[in-house]
Each structure stands twice: as C-alpha cells, then as structure tokens.
Amino acid sequence: AEPIRIGSFLAVTGPAAFLGDPEKKTLELYVEKINAEGGVLGHPLELVLYDTGTSAKNAVTFVKRLLEQDRVDAIIGGTTTGETMAVIKLVEKAERPFISLAGASVIIDPVKKWVFKTPHTDRMAVEKVYADMKKEGVTEIGLIGGSGGFDKSCLKNAEELAGSYGLTIKATEQYGKGDTDMTPQLTKIRNAGVQAVLFCGFGAASTIVTKNYAQLGLEGRLYHNHGSCSKRFIEGAGAAAEGVRLPCAALVVADQLPEDDPQRAVGLAYIEAYEAAYGEEVSTFGGHAYDALFLLVGAIERAGGADPAAVRDALERTRNFIGVDGIFNMSPEDHLGLGPEAFKMLEVRGGNWKYLY
Amino acid sequence: MSLLLVERLTRSFGGVRAVQDLSFAIPEGGIHSIIGPNGAGKTTLFNMISGVLRPTRGTIRFRGENIAGLPPERLAARGISRTFQNLQIFFNMSVLENVLLGGHLGLDRNVWRALFRLPRLRAAERRARAEAEALLERVGLAEWSDAPADSLPYGALKRLEIARALAARPELLLLDEPAAGCNEKETREIETLLKSLVADGMTIVLVEHDMRLVMNVSDHIIVLDHGRMLAEGRAEEVRENPAVIEAYLGQAAVAGGHAP
Amino acid sequence: MLLEIAGLASHYGRIRALDAIDLTVGDSELVTIVGANGAGKTTLLRTISGVQPASHGVIRFRGEDITRTTPARRVRLGISQVPQGRQMFAPMSVEDNLLLGAFTRPRHEIEPELEKLYGLFPRLKERRRQPAGTLSGGEQQMLAIARALMAKPDLLLMDEPSMGLAPRIVERIFDTIRELRATGVTILLVEQNAFAGLSVADRGYVLESGRIVLEGRAAELLADERVKAAYLGL
Amino acid sequence: MTEFFQFLFSGLTVGAIYALIALGFSLIYNASHLINFAQGEFVMIGGMATVFFAAAGIELPLAAVLAVLLAVVVAVAIERLGIAPAKGTSAVGLIIITIGAAILIRGLAGIVWDRNFHSLPPISGEEPLVIMGATLLPQSLWIFGVTAVIALLLWFFFAKTLWGKAMMATAYNPLAAQLVGIDTRKVVLVSFALAGALGALAGVLITPLAPTHFQVGVMLGLKGFAAAIVGGLGSGLGAIVGGLVIGIAEAMAAGYLSSAYKDAVAFVIILLFLVLWPSGLFGLRGIERV
Amino acid sequence: MRRLLGSHHGGLVLLVLAILLMPLGFPNSFYFDVAINVGIAAIVCIGLNLLIGYAGQISLGHAGFFGIGAYASAILTSTHGWPPLLALLAGILLSGGIAFAVARPILALKGHYLAMATLGLGIIISIVLSQEVALTGGPDGMPVDPLTLFGFEISGTWSWYWLVGGTLVLVTWLALNLVDSPIGRALRAVHSSEIAARVCGVDTTAYKVLVFVVSAVIASLAGSLFAHFSGWLTPDEADFLRSIQFVTMVVLGGMASTFGAIVGAALLTALPQFLTVFQNYEHVMLGLVMVLTMIFMPRGLVPTLALRFFGDRS
Ligand SMILES: Nc1ncnc2c1ncn2[C@@H]1O[C@H](COP(=O)(O)OP(=O)(O)OP(=O)(O)O)[C@@H](O)[C@H]1O
Ligand SMILES: Nc1ncnc2c1ncn2[C@@H]1O[C@H](COP(=O)(O)OP(=O)(O)OP(=O)(O)O)[C@@H](O)[C@H]1O
Ligand SMILES: [Mg+2]
Ligand SMILES: [Mg+2]
C-alpha cells in the first residue's frame, strides 16, 4: 500500500543535540516497530528526517523540502523553540499537521490551526518548582541559567511567576556557551542571601552547576528544571546531586509509580524498547517524540487515512491519550492537552531518583 | 638649493646605531651613489628617506621641507620613489599590474567611478597601460608583461622594481642595489638606463656594491661606514681614498675593476 | 665522479625550467655555472638539493642515485647549499641560524666550527644575538654562506654567494672558496660575476634557457668569444 | 575579599584549562605556522575516549593513556592525510582543512560514541580546599600542576634543544630548514602528535570538572585559540598568561559586572589586549625589515 | 569560452544566464528556496572576498554584520513599523558605522591576530543579539514582516528569487568593477606587500578600512534580505560558526575570485541538502569534502578549474 509519509526535522547536532538525538532515535525505532507490525491502517510509515544542526534557518529549508519535495503528510519536529517558530508560517500555509517537540508555550498560545506540541511547557515546570518552594516555606530565591533558548525561556517564566508564589528573586545569573565553571555566578547568588536556587538549563551545565553548588557549600535547596531529568545528571554530579529536586515526566520514575498509574505501563514499555535498541538510557526528550508519533498515529487511525485536514481534526479531538509525558486531552483551545499534574516532583536520593509526588 | 638635505640623522635599533649623526646634501639632477661596507647603514638611510622607518633624531629636507617621519605614501605623493634590496614585488599580480601599481597616484582612484566603471576611468586605465608597457620595454621586460610576477627569475624582478618605481614619475629615485644578481651585460643595460633617466632630469641616489657600475655612472659618491660619513667626493677621489680602500674596497678592487 | 647528472629536467607547473642537463663534478673539483637571468641556474641547484623535484633524469652522488631522496637526507650525505635569496630563519638569532646549519653534525664538532666561521666573518660574531632577519642584506649573505659551511659539506652548492657583498668581502669569499677547495671540498658555483666565477674554477658550464650550451675548462670559457660577448660584457 | 578569591580561583582553574589547550595551538604553530582548528577535538577525544574505554572495562588510568594515544593517532592522521598532501594551499586553505577535519571528527564521535555528556571521577577526591575563605577543588590543583610542567617542558624544548629550534626553524623557513638537513615532514608530524597528546591530556583533566560530549571541542578550542593569541602565538609562557587572562577576565566579569555579558566582556578585554599588544603579550614582533 | 570567463563581462553574462535558466530545472519551490539562500550567502561572500581574497585581511566576524542588518530590518519594520527599505538602509548605516569605528585598530593587526579580533567582534555582536531579549526576542528569535518595496509586497519564492538574483548580479557587477580598477589593484598590493604598496603611494590603512566597511555593508544588506525572506530570525545567523562558514565558502570557491565566492556559497549551501542521503554521516561527508577540496584544488574551486581547463592563471 501507499506509505504514509511523516516528515521530521530535529536538532540532532549543534547545541541542542542532547535533546534532538534521543528524539531522532525514538522516531526511527518506533516507525520501524510500527511497520514491522503491519503499519498504520495497512500503510507502512515512511520517516523522512533531517538534522537541522540546531539552526532555525536550516529548519525553514528542511520544512520546505519536506512539504514541497518529500510531500509528507504530517510533520513532527522542531527540537527547539526557535526552529519551531521559524516554520510555523510555512506549515500553516501548506496546511499540514505539525507536532512540535519544543518547550515554549508561545508555540500553541495563541492556538494555531495546524500546530500542536507534546512537551510540557517550561512554564509548567517552573510552576511545579515554585509550588514546592512555597510549600517548603521558601521566600527568597536565586536563578541561574544558560544563554540558550531553553534556558532563557525558563528564566523568563521564573521571573514572571515568582510574584504569584510569594517569591522574591534576589539574583539572576547566567553562564555562557561551553562554560566549565560557574562558581562566580553562584558566589554572587550566595552573597545575595537566598533560601533556594532554581537552575534553568540542561546538559553538561546541570552537572557543573550542581558540583559548584556543593563546592561552595551553598545552603538551601537546589532545584533544577526538567532539562536535568536524565540519569546522566546524577552520574555526572555524583554526591553533589543529593537533595536536588526537579519536576520530571512520569517516564523518569515509571518503575516507582503506583501499579495502577496508567502511565507506568507506557513508560516501562518505552524504556525497555529504547534501551534494548540503543543500549543507552532513555531521556524525557525522546519521550516527547514518542508521544508525538503515537498521537499522530492515533489521529491517522481515527481519521481513517492520512488526509491532512482529517488528521488535524482528529488530533484536535484527542482524548485520554496515555503518553509518556502525561495524559493528553486536546481541544480547539488547547493544542497541548497536558495539565500541570503531568509533571512529577522528584528528588535525588542515594544516587537515584526518588518519586515524591 | 639642494633637492635633499640630510642633517644630523640618527637611527638606532636597540643598541645598534645603524645611522649616526649623518649629514649630507644631494643637489638636483645627476646620479649620487652611497657606498660602504655591509651593515654600514645604507638601506637604513633609504628607509628613512622613503618614510619606511622613522629617524631616531635628525631632519631630512626635501625641497626645503622637513619630511622626516612622514609616511611613505605621503612621500610618494611628493615624488620620492624607491626600489628594495630585499625584493618587495607584488607576487599575486602580473608583471604589468606591478608597474601599473607604481603609477597608482596618477590614476583615477575615485570609488564611485570605480564601482560603476565610468568611461573616464576606463580611458585613464588605457593610458596607464600603454605607459606601463613602455616602461617595461625600457627595462627590457616587454615580453614578460602578462606573466605572473612570481614566475620571473631574480634578475628580472630587480628590473621590474625599477620599472615600478619609474611609473610613479618620481623626482627623486632611490635604487638599492639594482644590479645585484645581474651579470655584466645586464649591468651595462642598467647603466644605460640610469644615464637616460638622468638625461630626462631625474635625480637618482644609488646604493650598489658593483664598483664598475658605481664608478661609471656616479657624479658624486658618499661613503658610509658604521652609520657615519667616511668620505665624499667624485669617483676618482673616493676610489683613491685609503680609508675607503681599507674599509670597503679592498686591494683587488684598486688593482683592476672587479674581484678577484 | 662525486656528482653525476644525466638527462635532468625540471618544471614549474607547465614551464620547463631545465631540460636534458648532463653535468658532472669530480672530487675536489670547482665547477662554475654561468648564465643569464632566468637561465635555470637556481633551479638546477634546487633540484640537486632536492627542494625542487626532477621531472626527468638522474642525479647520482658518489655513485648513489639520489634523484628521489629527501632534501634532509641529501644534507646528511654531504650536500649543502648557499641558497639564492639568503633564506634566513629570520626571527632566530645569528648564532641559532649557524647552529641549525650544523643540524646534521655531531655535537662536539659544532663549537670549533662555529669559532672558525666567526673568525671568517667577525661581523657575524658581533651580531650573534641579533635576529637574523634584522641583519643588513650583506650581513645576511655572510650568514647564509657561514650556515652552509657549518654542515661541513663534501659538495657545496653556492648560488651567487657574492651577491650584495662589499668588494672587500667578495675578495674574502673567493679566497675562502679557494681554501675550501684546497681542503678537498667539492664546489659547484653559480655566479653572475662570470669573470670572477670562472677565474677560480677548474671547469665551467654555460646555461641558456634551461639547457647547457657550452662546457669546458674554465680558462677556455673565459677566452670564448660567445662567453665574452654574452656574460663578460666585453 | 572571600568573594574576590572565589572569583580568582574560578578564573585560575578555567584559565589553566584554556592555557593547556592554547599550548597545543602553539606547539603546532611553532612547527608550521598553522592554526589547527581541530585542536579542540583532541580535547574531546581525550575525555570521550577515556569514558568509553573505561566503560569497556579498562582500568581508568590505562583508559586515559589509551585515549591520549588515540588522539595522537588522530592528530597524525590529520597531518598525514590532510596537511601534508595539501601542497600549494594557502594558509587560510590549510585552516579550512583543519576545520573540515574537526567537523569530520565531531561527526564520527557522535556516531561511534554517542551524543550524551559524560563525566569522569576526579583524581584526588572532591573535598574542596578552603583558602582565604574561598574554595578550590583538588582537581584544579592537578590542572595547574600539569599545565605548569608542560609549559616548562615546552619552554625547555624550544629554547634549549636543537630539536626544538629545528622545529621552529621549519615554521620560519621550510625551504631553509630542508637545506640544513631538517626533515621538515617529520618535524610537522611530531608537532601534531604532541599537540594531539596535549589536547587529549587536557580533556582527561577537565572532564571531572566539566562533563565532556561530542561537541565540547568547539567552545574549548575557541577559548584555547583566544588564549594562544592573547599570549602571543608560539610562546609557551604566552599560552599560560593568555589562558589565565581570559579565564580571570571571564570570572571577574561574571562576578563583578554582568554574568549575562561576561563572555562579551571577556572578548572586549581580548580586543583591548590586542590593540595594546598587536602580536600578543609574548609573541614575536618586529623582525620584518626591508 | 576562456575569454568569456576571463573578461569579467563574460562571466557576468554566464551568471545572468544561470539565474535566468536555472528555474527551468526546478521541480518545486524548495529548489527556489535553496537557490535564494545560495544567493544571499553569495552576496555576503562577494563582499567578504574583497576583504579576504583581494586585500588579504581575514575576518571571522562577518556574520555579526549580517546579523546587524538582519535585526535592524526585523526590529525596525516589525516593532517600529518602519518601511523596509528605510530599515535596510539603517542597518547598512549601523553596520558600516560599526565597521568604520573598529576598522583602524583592528586592521592594524595581522594574520591570526586579526582573525582573533574579528572573531571576537562577531561574538560580541551575537551575544548582544541573543541577550537583548526585549529587543530581539533572544535565542528563540523574532518574527520579521514581509518585504514591501514601493508598495508591493515581495512574497512567494518567485519574487524572492528574482529579487535576490537581481541583487546578486548587481553586487557581482559592482565587485568586478571595483576589483578591476586601480582600487582593486591597490587592495591586492596590500595583500602582497604593504610596505611596497605604501611606497607606491597607496594609503594602505585607508584602503583596508574602505574594503572592511564595504564588505560589512554588503553583509548587512544580505542580512536584511535574509530576515525578510525567512520571516523568523534567530541570533544563530550572527553566530561565529556562521562567520566561519562564510569564510569557508570564500576559500573553497577560490580566494580573489568573485565567481569563486559565488560557487563557494552555492557549494556550501546546497551541499548539506545533497548530503542528507548519507543520513548520520552527513557531517563526516561535509568535513571530507572540505578537506579534499582544499587538497586537490588548493587555490579553490574556480581558480583551480579555470587553470585546468583554460590554462588561465587569473
Ligand atoms: N616559482 C616559479 N614559478 C614559475 N616559473 C619559475 C619559478 N621560478 C623560476 N621560474 C622560471 O624558471 C626559469 C629559471 O629560473 P631560475 O631562477 O632557475 O633562473 P636563474 O638562472 O637562477 O636566474 P637568476 O640569474 O635571475 O637567478 C625562469 O624562466 C623562471 O621564470
Ligand atoms: N630592525 C633592526 N634591528 C636591529 N638591527 C638592525 C635593524 N635594521 C638594521 N639593523 C642593523 O643596522 C645596520 C645597518 O643595516 P643596513 O641594512 O642599513 O646596512 P646596509 O648598509 O644596507 O648593508 P648592506 O650593504 O649589507 O645592504 C646593520 O648592522 C643591521 O644589522
Ligand atoms: Mg642594504
Ligand atoms: Mg638564480
């Protein structure tokens, strides 16, 4: 039968490679699995995937290529917000369903007809952290983050939301691309007198900040955002990571979830499949791609084919889809469909994640 | 009035005094040679006159005005041109283009006319090319005109530098060892060329170790040693000066023409 | 025969700079090459040293075919060159330049050799700490000659060694050439000053447009009408 | 005051890392006047290869040695396959070759290893030393020590040995170097091999502080290059001072001015240094004459 | 053929023909998109080549000027409602002004030191662009209004293709004229021997400043076009990696060859599109192509091929 063509453009290399790489691996793994099991509605899936190198300009070109040359039926991709925003006009004009894997809420707020996304917004992560801080009686905090889009968006939300949780930001510090030491920034935060610190970033910086935090002996809890939801972070930071709290998708602690939690089974299955195929730990970023792919597959099945308009409508009517990121309920007003409960609050204890609530 | 008047000129490099307290005058017209042992300061002197080096002390008057310390491009505009002992050819250009660049100041250098390639510029370029060809003819490089400069043998490059310097139509031409690397026959050609330039009214200052050439063409010779003036005078006077023989010429040179 | 060259050709891109050169230099012989600008003299010496590839022919040194060996190995075999254009290690001191000249020599031989050459060129001793690139042209030429001698070569290739030198020093250079020869060093000399060059030589070759057009005993060449007309300016 | 020392320690640690990388740049520069933009990749190989050899069950010290060897092999390959055959390529062209090689190595590392980040345990524990109220990790001391020793060794090599001089001579004038019997091909090759080893060593030493990943070489290489330039290309002492200047500038800018603009401030300082010392702090200058 | 390529009007005719005829082979608008990106990069490279190839002064920071042009257009049109043409001119003035202001101290540096200084300049610009979130939207970027010229909105790949193509031809023509004038010769002289150039009366500093400013202005113009064309702008466009890409284009295509700059831009822009067939290995292949090109075509594509096929050394 005619294959159903799914286009994808991801930051497999470049600054966001840490996010894009597992996304790519996930898509490739599951497209193969789906095809092995007979495809969707009897059609095999064909994945056309391009590496943007984390460049919005390349994203634009590749999306044009996906639309014009490869004539794909739907698009999954845009690892970063910049890549995603740069192509929205194109997909809207071409009228093809598009599920973004980037964090920022601007992508779906205001709602764009053809654009959906799977990751929780960074705003939700910050809210989760702030709620926890408030519960712990913290009132004065410091922020530290990188200079990339992911980091800055988190910092911006953190600054905007602080007031509503009764928090005062005493210091906001940044580090640069490829920095290897953040003690000066943390020293300033320490001197500002804070009760807790929120870290906005991902990758190697998570480890460095955490180690420097311990080195300087800062008092008060260090919170990370969901960029650090990777076992690599604990391994890298070692003892320094003890006590760090962060909001993560259920996937990270799937095995600690109660037996009756619907996400447990989905998460465990994904973990098993991914780790068997690649011999490396899953990441929540790969999970975004997982959800995007299966949201799309579900919509195609419900639409009875790959007709873009029908798939789009079906996507918008997604109800109770159990993904690794949470349970999705889309609507014409909400093209994400996740609630704040999709994040779980974790703490690092004994070199492992501890599921708190 | 002297064309060039050097007064108490000094240049040192750290501890080395390359030129010390040197004073002399060059009248307009004729060929004036500066000779002296290796390291006597001849090239350093040229470098100061042409603006390549700033003097440590002293003045250089060109047509009465002190030009010491002015940058080379300003001096070029005033009519001072030179060749280099260590070749400074534009190796990324053709032979003809090297000469054209020598005449740079005489060309149309307006950016807008260049960008839009207006007819006035094209006409000026055509004239310049013709002149450059003529100069190459004059130094005997006509057949190399379109060759890339980096394919020329050493001796030809020496003559190319002369042609380039001439393209600026200088009033004062400084030649630093033009005959180095040339055989007798080629040296004769240079001799003829120098004489014809002087006949056209140019003033030439020549640094050269080929004594046959120096003695044949010089109206006036200055001998430097250790950055100071050792002797000055007409060719015959200098040639017989015992101090000059001792410091520079050596015995064989006195005996007959050239070594050994 | 110390050096034997047969059918040698060399090119710069498509330009043929040397063509079918046959040339020999016997042990302890002093051979001079004369020729106009661009005749290919420098190219010939460069090819013998191995820094310019031979496109045809063979070069034999003490009977061994060295046409394809590296320049460094040729120096170790005993071939050293005073290059045209002096080729200083400009930022390095005069003394370092000289020490590098003896790069292939055993350590203990370096010091006496250095003193000997300082004796020959007192000027260099005065300037031993100065960067070679700041020397005057003639001083650099002295250094180039001294550096080549530091290698204590069996075959010394000299490309216009007298260029840019004061007459008194030129005399000294030619004296040195004679002395070297007397101590058994073989010399292949390229000289624009054809009269001086041929006067010290045993034999000579005349190069024109990359070919040898004339060869013979130096005295014969000096008397040759064509040589007189073309190179001696007589 | 404590604050100042904390910034200073940060600057020194980071600066020593930059210095170590800058030494690699200087080494190759000294032998061939080439800027090797793949230098950062050696740092990456040092860290990543150690991690992966260790993961394969090799003892950590041996894994580190193997990683250094691997970097040497890669460096030699770049020289043999990329630089040596490129006769007649301009200086910028050669730089493009090293950039191409860097892209290639990075691409391979992303495939052969992975695109995750990895850490290594520090050599002597993580208990920070407290000096003047500020803290310093023992690993920083290791980095200072190794950087100082290597700089000293390189200084000795270039200033005191004939081989070192032959290496510099090769860069100053390859033709003359050949004419005095220096095997210039070998010299350049050796310089690459040493630079590879140096880079990898830097990688091994810094991975405990800052995790490595397949793209870590880009920024580290850039900062190392900046350090080499500020200090003066080719000078070992310059590499060290240059590295420290940049490291300290970054730390102080982050501490006292604005952490958001600290990199910009650091580059402004670099520009000012260049205006004041156009050939770097300890670079050669003024040997050209006509 | 040789004359056609040798004399620059011949080359220009070829370029015009190529631009006119290429669309015949384009099956869909994706090809136009690539071609437009090639054109924009080529415009930058022609300017950069004046600086690097002719005057011999390296710049590893030209993406900074590209970024200034792009953001000037983006901010002034989208945020402040300026007419695009005016915004473009403002960008040019700003880039040219910055270039002029820094040119003297920076261009006093030589070789690798100059490379470092320009690299630093570019990095500073790109940091400002990504830090000033309120103005530029930060790393995630900002939207840009479409380009309107004299009341007409340029939209759709067709119009963009002709606009960029036309600009490219114009810039090429101007660059060729400049190169083939006393000024162009003076620039090449600066490259070869500054001291000899000065002795010939060339005010080398003035010429270096001139060509630096001209190349910055051209980069800025291209940046403005890019901003409107792409509709979304991120600071990546001003990143130092992008600067290095521009230099690579110039060198691969052939330094001191205006058509080389165009070919280099085409190669490095289009190549990644072809290399996607290598899947994971596309970066490996890209690196390999760069290395092999420089080994086997040491003078760059255009000059090496011209030499091989026409025996033309220029
Ligand atoms: N790098 C080069 N590229 C192209 N051609 C060259 C190159 N070097 C030399 N040639 C050509 O090779 C020929 C021989 O040059 P060579 O330098 O050997 O002459 P020469 O006899 O040493 O001259 P001179 O007396 O001027 O030193 C000349 O025609 C010259 O133009
Ligand atoms: N930049 C410099 N640094 C140090 N010493 C220098 C510098 N330039 C020149 N000198 C010294 O100054 C002296 C004069 O040099 P200059 O080149 O003027 O000599 P010259 O008379 O032209 O000699 P030659 O006949 O050999 O060309 C030399 O001893 C030289 O070593
Ligand atoms: Mg001199
Ligand atoms: Mg010669």
pLDDT in the model for residue E156:
82
What pLDDT band is residue D115 in, cutting at 50, 70 and 90? confident
CB atoms inside a 10 Å sphere around CB A211: 28
The fourth-level CATH superfamily of domain B1-71+205-260 is P-loop containing nucleotide triphosphate hydrolases (3.40.50.300)
Residue D35 lies in a domain: yes
Ligand 2 atom 8 nearest Cα: C134
Residue D232 lies in a domain: no
- Looking from the CA of E168 toward its CB, the CA atoms found within 13 Å total 34
User: Taken in order C169, C172, C176, C177, is the CA torsion positive or negative?
Assistant: positive
What pLDDT band is residue D21 in, cutting at 50, 70 and 90? very high
Q: Kind and range of the H or E element at C64?
A: strand C64-65
Residue E299 lies in a domain: no
pLDDT in tens, chain E (314 residues): 344 444 567 788 889 999 999 888 888 888 999 999 999 999 999 999 999 999 999 999 999 999 999 999 999 998 898 999 999 999 999 999 999 999 999 999 988 999 999 999 999 999 999 999 889 988 989 999 988 888 788 888 889 999 999 999 999 999 999 998 999 999 999 999 999 999 999 999 999 999 999 999 999 999 999 999 998 999 999 998 899 999 999 999 998 899 999 999 999 999 888 888 888 888 898 899 989 999 999 889 988 888 777 765 44
pLDDT for residue D129 is more than 60: yes
Q: Is there a contact between A13 and D115 if contact means CB atoms under 8 Å apart? A: yes
pLDDT in the model for residue E222:
97
Range of the domain at E111: 29-240
Q: What is the mean pLDDT of chain B?
A: 90
pLDDT in the model for residue C3:
95
Residue E113 lies in a domain: yes
**In chain B, which residue ranges form alpha helices assigned H by DSSP?**
42-49, 72-78, 95-102, 111-116, 119-139, 154-167, 184-199, 211-217, 235-240, 242-244, 250-255
Residue D42 lies in a domain: yes
Domains in chain D: how many in total?
Answer: 1
Q: Tokens standing for A307?
A: 């007709």
Q: CATH code at C125? A: 3.40.50.300
The 10s digit of each residue's pLDDT in B53-110 is: 999 999 999 999 999 999 999 999 999 999 999 889 999 999 999 999 999 988 888 8
Neighbouring subunits of C (3+ Cβ pairs under 8 A): B, D
Residue D283 lies in a domain: no
Residue D278 lies in a domain: no
Instruction: Tell me the C-alpha distance between C84 and C163, whole Å.
Output: 9
Instruction: Tell me the C-alpha distance between E286 and D99, whole Å.
Output: 11
Q: For residue D285, report the phi and psi dihedrals to the nearest 5 degrees.
A: -145, 160
Neighbouring subunits of B (3+ Cβ pairs under 8 A): C, D, E
Characterize the bridge pairing of strands B228-233 and A321-322.
unpaired
E200 touches chain B (CB under 8 A): yes
Residue E311 lies in a domain: no
Residue D118 lies in a domain: yes
**Helices and strands: H and E segment counts in chain C:** 10, 10
Task: Calculate how close chain E gets to A137, using CA atoms only, in Å.
Answer: 32
Residue D71 lies in a domain: yes
Residue E246 lies in a domain: no
Task: Calculate how close chain D gets to C134, using CA atoms only, in Å.
Answer: 6
Range of the domain at D198: 13-219
User: In chain D, whose CA is at the least distance from the CA of C149?
Assistant: D180
> D87-109: b or e for each residue (b if 16 or more CB lie within 10 Å)?
eebbebbbbbbbbbbbbbbbbbb
Closest CA to A120 of A333, A314, A340: A340
Q: Which residues pair with C59 in a beta bridge?
A: C5
D87 touches chain B (CB under 8 A): no
| Chain pair A-E, CB pairs under 8 angstroms | 81
pLDDT in the model for residue D286:
59
Q: pLDDT higher for C192 or C125? A: C125
Q: Are B227 and B41 in contact (CB under 8 A)?
A: yes
Domains in chain E: how many in total?
Answer: 1
Which of A60, A67, A82 is facing E139, going by the closest CB pair?
Answer: A82
Instruction: Tell me the C-alpha distance between C10 and D99, whole Å.
Output: 35
Domains in chain C: how many in total?
Answer: 1
Closest CA to D97 of E296, E191, E119: E296
Q: What is the mean pLDDT of chain A?
A: 91
* Range B40-59 average pLDDT: 95
Ligand 2 binding site (Cβ under 6 Å of any ligand atom): B 13, 16, 18, 36, 38-44, 85; C 127, 130, 134-139, 164; D 289
Instruction: Tell me the C-alpha distance between E5 and E310, whole Å.
Output: 9
pLDDT for residue C34 is more than 60: yes
pLDDT in the model for residue E157:
86
Question: Could you please report the per-residue DSSP string of B168-197?
Answer: T--SEEEEESTTTT--HHHHHHHHHHHHHH
Neighbouring subunits of E (3+ Cβ pairs under 8 A): A, B, D
Ligand 2 centroid – CA B44 distance (Å): 6
Q: Are A76 and A91 in contact (CB under 8 A)?
A: no
Cβ under 8 Å to C: B residues 200-259: 209, 211, 247-253, 258-259
Q: pLDDT higher for A246 or B15? A: A246
Range of the domain at C9: 3-231
* Dihedral, CA of residue C196, residue C198, residue C199 and residue C200, to nearest 10: 100
Mutation pick for ligand 1 pocket among C16, C19, C33, C42 (CB with most ligand atoms within 8 Å) = C42
Q: Is there a contact between D289 and B86 if contact means CB atoms under 8 Å apart? A: yes
Exposed, middle or buried, C204 (CB in 10 Å: 0-12/13-18/19+)?
buried
C209 touches chain D (CB under 8 A): no
CB atoms inside a 10 Å sphere around CB B153: 20
The 10s digit of each residue's pLDDT in C169-182 is: 999 899 999 999 99
Mutation pick for ligand 1 pocket among C10, C14, C15 (CB with most ligand atoms within 8 Å) = C15
pLDDT for residue D209 is more than 60: yes
Q: Are E129 and E67 in contact (CB under 8 A)?
A: yes
Instruction: Tell me the C-alpha distance between E58 and B11, whole Å.
Output: 34
- C-alpha B132 chain-centroid distance: 18
Residue E289 lies in a domain: no
pLDDT in the model for residue C52:
94
C100 touches chain D (CB under 8 A): yes
Residue A3 is classified by DSSP as P
D220 touches chain E (CB under 8 A): no
* Range C49-75 average pLDDT: 95
What pLDDT band is residue D287 in, cutting at 50, 70 and 90? low
pLDDT in the model for residue B256:
43
Helix B154-167 crosses helix B184-199 at what angle (to 10 degrees)?
10
pLDDT in the model for residue D15:
94
Q: Are B102 and B163 in contact (CB under 8 A)?
A: yes
ipTM of the complex: 0.93
The 10s digit of each residue's pLDDT in E150-166 is: 878 888 888 999 999 99
Instruction: Tell me the C-alpha distance between B162 and B178, whole Å.
Output: 8
A343 by DSSP, 3-state: which? strand
pTM value is: 0.93
User: In chain C, whose CA is at the least distance from the CA of B84?
Assistant: C137
pLDDT in tens, chain A (357 residues): 789 999 999 999 988 888 999 999 999 999 999 999 998 999 999 999 999 999 999 999 999 999 988 999 999 989 999 999 999 999 999 999 999 999 888 898 889 999 999 998 888 899 999 999 999 999 999 999 998 888 888 999 999 999 999 999 999 999 998 899 999 999 999 999 899 999 999 888 999 999 999 999 888 999 999 889 888 899 889 889 999 999 998 888 888 888 888 888 899 999 999 999 998 888 889 999 999 999 999 999 999 988 999 999 999 999 889 998 889 999 999 999 888 778 889 999 998 999 988
- Laid out side by side, the sheet with B220-225 consists of B80-82, B172-176, B203-207, B30-35, B220-225, B228-233
Residue E247 lies in a domain: no
E192 touches chain B (CB under 8 A): yes
Exposed, middle or buried, B13 (CB in 10 Å: 0-12/13-18/19+)?
middle
| Mutation target among D33, D165, D180 for the C interface, most CBs of C within 10 A | D180
